[in-house]
Amino acid sequence: MVVLLEDGHPGVQGIVASRLVQAYGRPALVLTQASAPGMLTGSGRSIDGLHLRDALQRTFEIAPQALPRFGGHSGAAGVGVPRDQLDAFKAAFLRAVGEQLAGRTLYPRLWTDGELSTAQLSLTTLQEIETLGPYGREFDPPLFEGRFIVEALRPVGAEGSHLMLELSTGPVTCKAIWFRAPTPGGTAWV
């Protein structure tokens, strides 16, 4: 995906790109107006199986005038694109990504560290996990999955965009919050 945020701030490019990848399971480049006249600046995030820097290198080979500046690595990259070359850039980028993915079906993926036992659903486990930090690129915080019965829920937050939940599994009952529940890519935290 290539998205232009006409009035967007460059500081949100990576955040928006990451959320698009999570929601749609596709590599995403988010562009905003650059400080240089006639230029756009952008940040991209990738998916498993697509080396973003290599895709940008191929984009440059296809349409060098549309991508005078780029850099990055397999998972993230930055670009500079002349505004009047945006359509050429999009076409070349989509072609380069298509070549690398070779018809692979794309969908959102969520990688987890598996399930926790009911005995591990405790503050002690949370404290043990917190001692492993700090987390960052290539060392993401752990993410666990499980099946729970929703005993109760209610909207919370200024706009009601989060859900407060009471969940149970076997003998254990937990309180949880699901941030941005109505939107794709929301995350539940127990």
Q: Over its length of 190 residues, how does the chain's per-residue pLDDT go in tens digits? A: 999 999 999 999 999 999 999 889 999 999 999 999 999 999 999 998 999 999 999 999 999 999 999 999 999 999 999 999 999 999 999 999 999 999 888 888 878 999 999 999 889 999 999 999 998 767 888 999 999 999 999 999 888 889 999 999 989 999 999 888 865 555 555 5
Contact present, 44 and 20 (Cβ < 8 Å): no
Q: Which CATH number do you get for residue 9?
A: 3.10.310.30
Domain membership of residue 112 (yes or no) is no
| Number of domain units in the chain | 2
Domain membership of residue 107 (yes or no) is no
Distance CA 72, CA 86 (A): 20
Q: Which domain covers residue 63, as residue numbers?
A: 2-101
Domain shared by 14 and 66, yes or no:
yes
